Amino acid sequence: MSVRTYRPRLAPKTVRAFQTRLLDWFKHHGRDLPWRSTRDPYKILVSEIMLQQTQVDRVLDYYGRFLREYPSIQDLAAAGRSAVRESWDGLGYYARARHLHATARRVVKRHAGEFPRTLDQLMDLPGIGRYTAGAVASFAFGESAPILDTNVRRVLTRVFVRRRPSRQAALDRRLWMLAELLIPCGKAWEFNQALMDFGALMCTARNPRCSDCRLGELCAWNQAQRAKSNSTPRRRRA
């Protein structure tokens, strides 16, 4: 039996155009968020864990306060369980706080307080999956590591996936591969942040802003929508 491996066939010109336009959009429209002014892996991890299943606006209230209470990974590792639970109160999904706390303890104990840099080592920490590992590796260490959250998934699917594979696992493999090969050399931080903001602000789930979008001519979804509207007979005016 032959195993077919998906290799995205993308013209280098298309890849470059996507990268350039996305980064240019981010330069002008990217959000100024507090976790974007740090390269400290601990602070980035705190933001990423808080942002799982929680909107940015809500996290903004908690992020600064949490870091004032636990400014370093050592402070968090030394805290008691109930104190951490209390600091998380109101954010919900408390397993996240437990995992974050356990990760802090593990990094302090086993790695002398220094975050590991590789994806495999990061994914070995409690509560850190492929997405979070990619976020820490690219945002803190500038590694060319892909990220795929709901927003990024939507952007990449719309732009690049013309025919959706019937199996979710096949789509996932394809999207992770795309998310990796699209990262411009040395620009993982900007590119991954840009993808997230683009998904949150432009390529939204409902009412995407296609008419303002500079990726339109590269976008499979946009072209399909246009083809559909061109082939729909117009209603006669009464």
Query: Which residues carry out catalysis?
Result: 48
Based on CB atoms, which residue is closest to ligand ADE, 30 or 184? 30
Q: How far apart are CA 194 and CA 182, in angstroms?
A: 12
String of contacts with ligand ADE for each residue 162-201, x by CB under 6 A? -------------------------------x--x-----
Q: How far apart are CA 1 and CA 69, in angstroms?
A: 57
Inter-axis angle of helices 188-201 and 12-29, nearest 10:
70
Q: Identify residues 91-120 at the interface with ligand ADE (CB under 6 A).
A: none
Q: What angle do CA 190, 193, 195 make, to 5 degrees?
A: 105
**Single residue of 22, 45, 49, 51 touching ligand ADE by CB under 6 A:** 51
Other Cβ atoms less than 10 A from the Cβ of 28: the count is 6
The CB-of-117 to ligand ADE minimum distance in angstroms stands at 18
Q: Should residue 56 be labelled a site residue for ligand ADE when binding is judged by CB under 6 A?
A: yes
Question: How many residues of this chain bind ligand ADE (CB under 6 A)?
Answer: 9
- Residue 54, classed as helix, strand or coil, is coil
- The residue among 115, 193, 185 whose CA lies nearest residue 147 is 193
Q: Should residue 15 be labelled a site residue for ligand ADE when binding is judged by CB under 6 A?
A: no
The CB-of-160 to ligand ADE minimum distance in angstroms stands at 21
Q: How far apart are CA 110 and CA 123, in angstroms?
A: 15
The CB-of-217 to ligand ADE minimum distance in angstroms stands at 26
Stretch of 48-56, 67-75, 113-121, 221-229 lying at the interface with ligand ADE (CB under 6 A): 48-56
Based on CB atoms, which residue is closest to ligand ADE, 31 or 81? 31
**Single residue of 17, 33, 60, 201 touching ligand ADE by CB under 6 A:** 33
Query: What is the chain's length?
Result: 238
Residues with Cβ < 8 Å from 211, sequence gap 6 or more? none
> Where on the chain is the footprint of ligand ADE (CB under 6 A)?
33, 35, 48, 51, 56, 135, 149, 193, 196
